[in-house]
Amino acid sequence: MQLAKTFFNITGFTFHDAQFAFADEKRLILEDLDHSQDEQRYFCIGKINGEIATVRFTFRGNKIRIFGAGYWRKGKKIYEKENKIHWRAKNGQC
C-alpha cells in the first residue's frame, strides 16, 4: 500500500492507471538496454489520461510487472516522432 501511495505522489497516476499505456493503439514498446543486466526490461510509451507517459516494465512468467512510470520528455519526443505528431507554437514556430 505504501508503495502505491509513493508511486502516485511521484507520478501523478496509479499503477492501475499505468496499465492504460499498453491499451494505446499508438503505443511504442522499446527495450531498455541500459538497465537490463539481470532481466530484460522495457519501456511502453503511450497515453495515460490523455498525456504521453513512459511505463517501465519487465515480464515475470506470463505477467507484466510494472516497476516505474512517469511523464518523461524523451519518451514523449519519441512517441510524437514515431507517430508523426506535429504541433505548432502560438507564434507559428515549431
pLDDT of residue 25: 95
Burial class (CB in 10 A: 0-12, 13-18, 19+), 4: exposed
Domain assignments of the chain as residue spans, ordered by start: 2-82
Q: pLDDT tens, position by position, for the chain (94 residues)?
A: 676 676 666 767 778 888 999 999 999 999 998 876 788 999 999 999 899 999 999 999 999 998 888 888 999 999 999 998 766 555 444 4
pLDDT of residue 34: 83
